[in-house]
Structures are given as C-alpha cells and as structure tokens.
Amino acid sequence: MKLRVLVKYFIYIFLILLISFVLPRIIPGSPLSYNHNDTYILNQSLPEDTFNAFEEYYAPNEPFFNQFYKYLYNLSRFDFGYSFYYKLPVSNLIFGRLPWTLLLSFTSIVISSFVGISWAIKTSLLNKSSNFKIGMMIAIQSMPTFLVAILIQGVIAYKLKLLPAWGAYKPGTVFFTHTFYLDVLLHLILPLLTLILCEIPGIYILTYNSSQKIKKENYVIMARYLNIEDKQINQQFIFKNIIPEILGKLNIQLIYAITGSLFVEAIFSYPGIGQLLKSAASSRDYPLIQGILILTCFYGLIVNFIFEIVLKNNTEKY
C-alpha cells in the first residue's frame, strides 16, 4: 500500500516535470515553440543577454531528449534558470521570498480554519443555520481573491488611511528590533484579513456539509435514542468524527491558500512569491514563471502527501 502511494507520487512528479517542460514547447507563439526551426526568430524577439541566458538554460537547439535530460539535471540541482527581469537566479529569488508567502498563507489558514470550522460546527449542531448565512458564504466565496484585496486595500488603506497599503515593512527599518516586529504586524493585517475572508467560506461550507452528514449517521441517531446528553453526543460522537472528515478535504483548502496568497501579495506588494508572479507576468519572465509553477506544484504535492498519511492514520482509528 505504502509503495503504491510512493509510485503514485513519483508519477505525479514526473507528470509535473513533463508538463512544465512540454507546455512551453507546444504553445502557439511561445518562444520555445517547435514552429521555430532555428533560434533566429527567438533571437529577434528577446534582448541579447536574455537570449543568451535563455539559450544556455533551455538549449532549444538540442534534440528533445537531451533538452529534457538537461532540464531534469538542472532541476535536480535547484537550478531554475536565470530570471530575465531581476537578472538573478530564479531559485535565489523564490527561496528568498518564500518565508513571506508561507507566513501569510499559514497564518491565514490556521486562523480561518479555526474560525471556519468552529463556527460551522456550532451553527450546524445548534441547528441555527439559515439559507441566508450559506448564501452570504457563497457570495464571498465567489468573489475572486484579487478583487476582495483591491476593495479592502482601496477602502481601508487608501480611502480611510487606517493601515499601511503595501509592503511587509517600512523600507529601511532595521531588522529584528521591536519597532520592526510591530511594523511587520501592522503590514500583515490587511493581506491577512483579505486571505482569511476568502478562505473562511470554503472551510465553513465544507465543515457544515460534513457535520450535517454525520448528524444523520446511524450511530448519532442511536445515541439520541439512548438519551445520551446532547453535549456528550456533540463532543463524543460528532466532533471526533468530523475532524478526520475535514482533514481529508482541508488539503485542497491549503492549496487554495497558497494561490490566494499569491494574488493578495501581488495586490498588496507584499514581498512574497506573488509579487514575483506579477512581475513575471508583466515582463514575460519565462524562467521565473516556470520556477513558480514548479514550486506551487511541489507545494501541492507535499501538502497532499502529508494529508494522505494523516488521513490514513486517522481513519483507521475510527
């Protein structure tokens, strides 16, 4: 069983690498597209030093398999190429920014799952739910994250000037002093708020549905027959069974959290990966966007892998 899981993940990794390698070569209009039989055309559309870096990394003139081999070899050494825009190795850029993204996405997921799960369980156990509440949740969920970010930034930071509108800290502050931490916290509030707001509905609806399902399970109905106290039913039967159920689906939420945080960062100019994504998009920085894609893929894989193991251990207990 364990082996099968591992094999599955190996296949996934291989597929991801294959997709990230093949896609740029088959997309119409791509600089690496095979419609260009020689690199002349590419050389006509990229600046000289960019072209050189590009050619060195992608080696578009070599046979397909050599290219793929080279690609894998480079990746195995964490060499994602050289960013055109920043003129720095992509890996340096990404790993330098990663802590900020992780800070934002993990804090938000911790808070929003706590709020979302407890709220949903509460409403569902007390039968207090209303279609209106669910409707509201769907309304928030259907807002694209970046639009929520724009609205929050515009109103709270620019219009009311309550909190800093961009960045993670004031430029030039000395690191690791008290003012610095305070500054970081102040700058964190708005992006975090946006992310939490966008994550709660998903978690809420998920939890609500699963607890409704469990409420209809036979053992809960049985417990009620046996006149076990409501409180005890909630704690002993329902709550304990909801947790593995939710854990099994929370991985998707975690993956959304990272994409959500990319967009939020782009709007709030938070110095995480999202900002890299934005500049990569506007400057057509191919190696950088490729690095970000691979990173998010691996993030998704790792999260999934961890949850698969956690889930296995949990479901076996009950």
Partner 1 sequence: MKKFISLIIILLLSLSLAACDTAGQTEKTEQPMTSEQGLKKTAREERVLRMDGDNLGYPSVFTSSPKGRGYLLVSFTFDTLVWKDETGVIPLIAKDWSISDDNKTYTFNLNENIKFTDGTPLTAEDVKFSFDYLKEHPYQWVSVAPVEQVTAVDEKTVQIVLNEVYVPFVTDIAGNVPIMPKHIWENVTEPEKFNTKEAIVGSGPLILESYDKESGVYIYNANKDYFMGEVQIDKLIMSSVKNTKEALVADEIDMASNVKYGEAMKLKEENSKYKVIEGPGLWVGRLYFNFGIEELNIKEVRQAMYYAINRDELVQKALKGAAEVGNPGHIHPTSEWYSSDIKNYDYDTETAIELLTSVGITDTNENGIVEYNGKDLSYEFIVPEEQVPLAELITKYLGDIGIKLEVKAMDQNTIASLIKEGKFTLAFNGHGSFGGDPVLLKGFVSEETAASTPQVTTQGGQNWHNEEFNTIFNQQIVELDREKRYELVGKLQNIISDELPTLTLYYKKSISAYNPEVFDGWFFTKDGVSLAVPTIHNKLIFVRGQWNK
Partner 2 sequence: MIIKNLSRTKRICSFIIFIYIVIAIISNFIMPFSIDDFSSEILQTPSFKHILGTDEMGHDLFSLLLNGFKISILISIISGILSTTIGVILSFVSCYYKGIIDNTICHIANLLIIIPEIIIIMFFAIFASPTMINTILAIVFFSWTKVFKMARSKLMGYMDKNKVKYTFLIKGNIFDIFKKLYYDLYPVVITSFILQCNKAVMYETTLSFFGIGDPLSKTWGKLIKSAMNYENLFYDNVIFWYLFPPVICVFIYILSLSLLIFDEK
Residues of the shown chain interacting with partner 1 in the complex, contacts defined by CB under 8 A: 43-50, 84-88, 93, 95-97, 99-100, 102-103, 106-107, 110-111, 114, 158, 161, 164-167, 170-172, 175-176, 180-181, 184-185, 188, 269, 271, 279, 282-284
What is the distance between the alpha carbons of residues 257 and 200, in angstroms, rounded to a whole number? 10
Q: Does 71 bind partner 2 (CB under 8 A)?
A: no
Using the Cα atoms of residue 197, residue 201, residue 206 and residue 211 in order, give the sign of their dihedral: positive
Q: Does 186 bind partner 2 (CB under 8 A)?
A: no
Residue closer to partner 1 (CB basis): 249 or 278? 278
Q: Does 151 bind partner 2 (CB under 8 A)?
A: yes
User: Which does residue 252 bind out of partner 1, partner 2, none, counting CB within 5 to 8 angstroms by kind?
Assistant: partner 2
Helix (H/G/I), strand (E/B), else coil: 119: helix
What is the distance between the alpha carbons of residues 133 and 112, in angstroms, rounded to a whole number? 17
Tokens, residue 6: 């591992």
What is the distance between the alpha carbons of residues 65 and 73, in angstroms, rounded to a whole number? 12
Helix (H/G/I), strand (E/B), else coil: 89: strand
HSE value, Cβ hemisphere, 13 Å, CA-based, for 32: 23
Distance of CA 314 to the CA centre of its chain: 24
Q: Does 307 bind partner 2 (CB under 8 A)?
A: no
Secondary structure letter of residue 154 according to DSSP: I
Q: Does 24 bind partner 2 (CB under 8 A)?
A: yes
Residue closer to partner 2 (CB basis): 44 or 227? 44
Which of 141, 173, 269, 314 touches partner 2 (CB under 8 A)? 141
Residue closer to partner 1 (CB basis): 136 or 151? 151
Residue closer to partner 2 (CB basis): 182 or 306? 306
